[in-house]
Amino acid sequence: MLTLLSGGTGGRKLFEGLMSILPQKEISVICNTADDIEIYGLHISPDVDSILYAAAGIFDEERGWGIKDDTFNFHNMITRIVPTYSWFNLGDKDLAIHVIRTDLLRNGMKLSQVTNFLANKFNVDCNIIPMTDDKVTTFIFDGINKKHFQEFWVLFRGDMPIKQVIFEGIEKAQPCEKAIDAILSSKLIIIGPSNPITSIGPILSLNKIKIAIQDSKAKKVALSPIKGNNPYSGPAAKLMQSLGLEVSPLQVAKLYQDIIDYFVIDENDDDSGIKQLGIDVIKTNIDMQNMNDKKRLAKIILDKFYSF
């Protein structure tokens, strides 16, 4: 068994590589839920859904979110009536998932149980685990107002000042028990090349998850989402800069230094600072533009750290 900590893009790409090599039942994924948002009363869980859809083979790779070949009839109609709904797009097929999830949550199921229910319906065998069943929400504070992460990213396209990143609810939130079980029974724990601030940040801010990783006998490896001084996509650079952090693989390694043994960085990046942290470095091509790249990178990690 191995456990991957993931958001919806870099971590999901690596997940696709891992799935192309290992049987799904050997893989557990602990997903960030702090990006979750309620849109007109529906519970949307973007990172859980990206992993679920990827496992089910229905993820829209081109768009980078949602279900492939989806249509937007519902969205077009609802925004014709209420134009202010137009900023967040929900596809028709995607919508079915949100309606079911919201209904089951209202009937008392926990997010992890709903996720399990949905995974079964798609014949998904890997263990997709939300980091918590409790409400945790990432807000971006600009010094005056706080905006939900989705508003910051989708509505304002990341174009607002960032004074603080707040994981509201994190102090009281408990990790899902299944997440702790997965960590403690894994031979390998992988921190995916996900956004270290808003995807991995909330997962590791659940103290019991961090402690379980530290206590685990597993090999612990993280992959860099940064090549040179740039992320491949998303707001990682803006978030890191705004928080006074350098945008570099070394900085990401520093964020993970108390839990990882190995760090995978791009072959052209400098590893000296990372080695000085006491972390072993694997240098390789960390681009995952297509399925071959994803499989190649996953294979390097599995060959080195996971005998099966």
Binding site for ligand FO1 (CB under 6 A): 7-8, 35, 44, 46-47, 49, 65-66, 88-90, 94, 150, 153-154
Nearest-approach distance from CB 149 to ligand GDP, in angstroms: 9
Residue 13 binding result from ligand FO1, ligand GDP, none, given CB thresholds of 5 to 8 Å by partner type: ligand GDP
Ramachandran angles phi, psi of 140, nearest 5°? -105, 125
Helices 177-184, 207-215: inter-axial angle, 10-degree rounding: 20
Q: Is residue 211 helix, strand or coil?
A: helix
Cβ nearer to ligand FO1, comparing 154 with 166:
154
Placement of tokens 């996971």 in the chain:
306
HEC sequence for 14-60: HHHHHHCCCCHHHEEEEECCCCCEEECCEEECHHHHHHHHHHHCCEC
Residue 199 sits in the site that holds ligand GDP (CB under 6 A): yes
Q: How many CB atoms lie within 10 A of CB 82?
A: 10
Cβ nearer to ligand GDP, comparing 182 with 252:
252
Maximum Cα–Cα distance for the chain, whole Å?
59
Nearest-approach distance from CB 81 to ligand GDP, in angstroms: 29
Question: Any alpha helices (H) in 137-219, and if so which ranges?
Answer: 149-150, 177-184, 200-205, 207-215
Residue 232 sits in the site that holds ligand GDP (CB under 6 A): yes
Residue 154 binding result from ligand FO1, ligand GDP, none, given CB thresholds of 5 to 8 Å by partner type: ligand FO1
Q: Give the x-and-dash track for 44-73 against ligand GDP (CB under 6 A).
A: ---x--------------------------
Of the ranges 99-107, 203-211, 224-232, 273-281, which one interacts with ligand GDP (CB under 6 A)? 224-232
Helices 73-81, 92-106: inter-axial angle, 10-degree rounding: 80
* Binding footprint of ligand GDP on the chain (CB under 6 A): 6-13, 47, 192-195, 199, 223-225, 231-234, 236, 286-288
